[in-house]
Structure 1
């Protein structure tokens, strides 16, 4: 009898301990540091932070999102995350190397639209682009991209001779000074980036062409941060199921999608051999259907 009672008491104590731990987790504030934007005018972090906040809200935890002390280029942000220094979460396009070094939350926060690329060009190049009738013609021109962007490797592996630099601001200067012929940007960011060019610089969005390759931007955490990864993944899945994720996406980007007029463009499809095997391509609810 004493043995049964002892086991019963031990079971009760274990249950109380588990409840206490759960309560502590829910009552504790998760302080999550993300990469600081390049400037006050840089709005590229707004949507990912809204998605991250939405995911955390779905779980009921208390949280605080904190920018890093200073701005770092994407490569340094990823390295700091890998080394578990200051930064707890980064959003970035996935590839095999990043999934090897970091822990991905495999839900594409832009629903794959990051792989639909339009071109920033100088207006004095407009006539040149009118003569492009197939991908082989486009391959004769030189794109510019970030030196540590997965897009660079994708373009290179498809035959492009890519010029690189470390930041969008430096890449913009390259385009203006005719170092490179076009600057491929996703349809979700190209209009904002165009607005960042000085008004006296004649940079336009090329109106008839585009590129597509399968691509996903995920939240990444340190490889040992499984509780945080589970928390974000749980919240995202709940937001997808209840429709709040799609509502935020449409509210933010439907106008960008409409203005891109994908169906009126010649879109050249590239292979992305760097896409990891675990990319959830078969989950149709995670991807935007452009109707192209």
Structure 2
């Protein structure tokens, strides 16, 4: 028979005792595991292994679920900034055991019903809450990251009952942005009267953006060093020999100094560098 600690670990490391009982574990066995230190109890009616995920432990203690940007980040989605944990509770919840000022609480009826004992929100609930919590650009980046990673389909989101903020994000979202940087870039140049296309193949390589016919914009992340940097330089040279104009910008420029990026692009457009010869 498997050790009870292993069973709890297989269930995520933090679980309600009723789930164990329903699965066939006796309350006597649970009490014995708590007594000899194989399990701990973060809250009445819950047990956990000693090395359980601290986020899940905190959620169990507080009686909340991890959601919004906190859950998005744990899913590996692109999140720009997470200041304190974001947690979800039903509108009728009370007596939350949360440290003062250290969590953002979302009191709402979830778009997708939450199973009893859930400590992390579903992808649908996460995205809907992100849309109501985060500024438009940041919310769109999270949604597009989820679509790009195949965690959700746009049609599935479209069938939900969405508020205007989430509907706006849905209408703009697409699955082709490899990073939130690309999402922010596209949103901020939406006003431009020239086509801005994302992830276009040219000369055997993908470029981040093609503005008009000939203006290529590449966004460099932290991995653009060493061999990757050498390959980037070679590809830039090949593009320029084909008549393209290449602008490279960095993560910091897009996030913190957008005015510099926009100025470079506007000056190139003013000179007609986006047009085919």
Length-normalised TM-score, structure 1: 0.26
Bigger radius of gyration among the two: 2
Relative contact order higher in (CA < 8 Å, ≥ 6 apart): 1
